[in-house]
Structure 1
Amino acid sequence: MAQTILHLGLRPATLMLLQKQLPSPGAEFVALAAIDQVLPPGEVLLLGEELDAPIRLAQEAYALDKRLSILLLTEASRYEKTRQALQFSPFIGPTVQCNSTAVGARLAPIIVDAMQRTAQRRSFAQLKSFALSAPQFEPQVVAKIRADFSTKVLEEAPIGAVLVSTTGTILSINQYAINLFGRPEAEVVGAALPDLFPAALSEEVQRFLREEHLREPKRIVALTDTAGTRYLEISVTPIDAQQALAYKLVMLNNITATMVAQQQTQADLTVVKRLNVDLDNFIYTASHDLKQPIANIEGLLLALQHELPAEVRQTDQVATMLTLMQGAVDRFKKTINDLTDVSRLQQANEQPAQSVDVAQVIREVEEDLAALLREAQGEIVVTVPPGTTIVAFSEKNLRSVVYNLLSNAIKYRAPDRALCIRVTYQPVAGQGQLCVQDNGLGLDERQRSRLFGLFQRLHTHVEGSGLGLYMVKKIVENAGGTIAVESALGEGSTFTVWLPG
């Protein structure tokens, strides 16, 4: 039977990769337009890279189905920040995880494992609802308990399930768990569960079953043998029956594929971080090392202009050549300055977060842009609810974000209508939502896809380097936030920034 993969906000390339790695009829992909009041039936929900606020959507989905596995798939540059933000986000449980799309095809086993975990949680819920009445635990009906336990529930569970006494003696065990230990059922039933583990782990498992599970819900142990290393996740719950307090249900889950994928993901991210550091160092070194040579060239050009006789400098051919040479030098100097700005991004990322008043930052930037706004004959309308504007962010970086968005709205205004910029801020689900809306030139679909790229200039009638929005996006994402744009050519654009609470 096909398993249903719900997804929202996946990039087309990511979706195509997953459809190739998880083909039908084994997996059926169902696209969602939004998180509604009722989720369609499914085994996993994927929240993709194109979403403005994936954590908020994960909170909404978790509230609807606490047993459904939810995976946030992010770009490598946003993975660490999103993962950290997820750890401290309220109203989210362990069913919500974050993964990087940088692992490529290795996403497939992670998603398969997530679907299995959904099935396990739902089966476990059935296990807990399987009422064991007091008379069933009388000595004369223990055999019946074991039979009912195995045939009605355990054998159907896609997870290891073991019924043990307070001493850890195995009373019943399903086939999944038997396969994990690789021993005949006759050797397992009646034995102490910790004794089935290697000697180096036996005492640890015993302590976990006896008392440590009360303060630590799950324990992961590594079993190493000639076949390699396997990872088992152990959890314990008492049986829900008045007379069954002496009995515990131990769940065993083989999470080897997930652990290996996570280890590989971490290794890949380490490589990506090292490459980013190397790239930052290269840009910094190149931008500084090139300054002196281009200064020398410009000096030689000025010396040449000074030495040439006036009548030679003024000839059409020589004047044109000198102008072209000076233009080339100026463009080279501008490129070097742009590279220097990119290298400063690394320093911006290291700015400490602090409590910042968004409303105050908006007011200060509005004052700085007052002259440009008067020249453009435009207005800025700010709507900010009082007492709700404190966020954890670098004040310098937040100022850069607001300044770039507002100054762009002024620069790229439409010539045939009065400029109006609307700025709103409101707290939403533990995050801050900052919107900057204008009625300017707007963008078509092709332009929108290039908007946040490095050195991307979409309009040439005004001065610009193509760095502003690239830097805004990096600053926001490195702080754990997101930025998105909605735009229509000839109508205007709306930038939405989600700031960490």
Structure 2
Amino acid sequence: MPNKNEQISTLIELNEELENYFSNTIIPQLFVDAHLILRKFTPPAMRQFKLKHEFIGMHLEDIKENFRFPTIIENIKVVIATGKILEKEIQTNDLRWYQMNILPYIIRKENKTNGVIITFVDVTPRIRDLKEQERLIAEHELLLDTIAHDIKNPLLGLSLTVQVLKRLPEKSMEKFPVLLRNVENSLTDIKKVVNDLVDSRWGHQRYQSAEELVDLQNILEDVRLTLAPQILESGAIIKEDLAISEITFIRRKLRSVIYNLLNNAIKYTPAERHPEILITSYEQDGFMVISVTDNGIGISEEDQKLIFEKFQRLRLTVDGSGVGLYLVNTIVLSSGGKIIVESELGKGSVFKVFLKMDKGLPASV
């Protein structure tokens, strides 16, 4: 058994290692004891929160304004009391977003929490990137759909008109054949441009966005980050129960599906109540079923027939373009799946997305 001098020497070495770690880490970190006294902080935390060396030994209550996050003390107390890790996205008063992790500092011999270690990771750029990705995905899908349907249909009508004109008697219209030929040539050129654009964009997209094995849990984390401002403002409570998490799918498209369903669940909740959302997943008949249940305004039977149409908005008082569910439905159907909705006015909705797990089997939807 080591003698007292050896024990002291070991403690000094451990303390030096801890000091060395805190001095050299690039992550803002704080060490707060069980009495909410600030004991250590890393240089990045010192710069980020304008901390001073004389703050060490002070109660957090006296310096909480430096952290610009009003509930940090309550969060620390919860971790000390429960001994469980707390992870959440927070927005500070300077409008930046952080992934905050509060880890209990446990004394193993006594099996008690003697404080917490708090880390802050700036996720503001990631949130901005994810929001931009969602915007680009929506614009991209709408552009292709517009070209493929809204433009090609009038061109078909024009082509049929030309065919009718060609069968009309020319009589004395000497220039008629020339004019008709010019119209037909122009029509052919327009069709070629449209087809080339659609083919090249779709081909490029297929190359860039191949299917891969994705984890639904990771997709949900990305979506929660993207919607962090809305979640914070609405006080939304989001729970997950994932019986199955992995599926082969295009990552950005699955993220777009989850993003739009979760965004709607938050957006279409009455102002007088906080959104309560449950996301579940399970396997059924060769499909991964992703279910999103909310306590929102609900959808009438009549409106349920319209919600997947492009530019269809049920509430003009709510921000949006009316393309979210249209895109979700387009993505799901094109992958061989389906989406169904169960809803009652005033009592919320359940959206169930069925995604084929084995793309080699025929769809039984």
Please give the TM-score of this superposition, normalised by the length of structure 1: 0.31
Rg bigger for which structure?
Answer: 1
Please give the TM-score of this superposition, normalised by the length of structure 2: 0.42
